[in-house]
Amino acid sequence: MLRLILSAIFIFAGVNVIITALVGNFRFNYVLNRMQVGATADTMGAILVLIGLVIKAGWSMISLKLFIMIIFFWVASPVSAHFLARTEIISNENIMQECEVVRHDSI
């Protein structure tokens, strides 16, 4: 019974993070701001949901697969958001008028 309650708390927290980010994402005007919020919430929400599923499944091969998925989300989501942000910075000609961008050659 404790495992069910604990897993429900983690799953509810993960879904809550994703829904809150979805609603809050409409407050931002620029694509890089939306991408930052989306990537952070996507990673955190998915990891919380997967932790809840691991607790629900108990110690088995299913939980091992879920841990591997957690590690994949933890690595892949920020990396893909970084690549998308770099593509936006490189391809947008008016990037300096829309937001402040620090170039690597000026650091």
pLDDT tens, position by position, 5-45? 999 999 999 999 989 888 888 887 777 777 778 788 888 88
Assigned token pair, 72:
């994949």
Q: With 0-12 CB in 10 A as exposed, 13-18 as middle and 19+ as buried, what is 103?
A: exposed
Q: Which two tokens stand for residue 46?
A: 């998915």
pTM metric for this prediction: 0.73
Contact, 18 vs 48, CB < 8 A?
A: no
pLDDT interval class at 107 (50, 70, 90) = very low
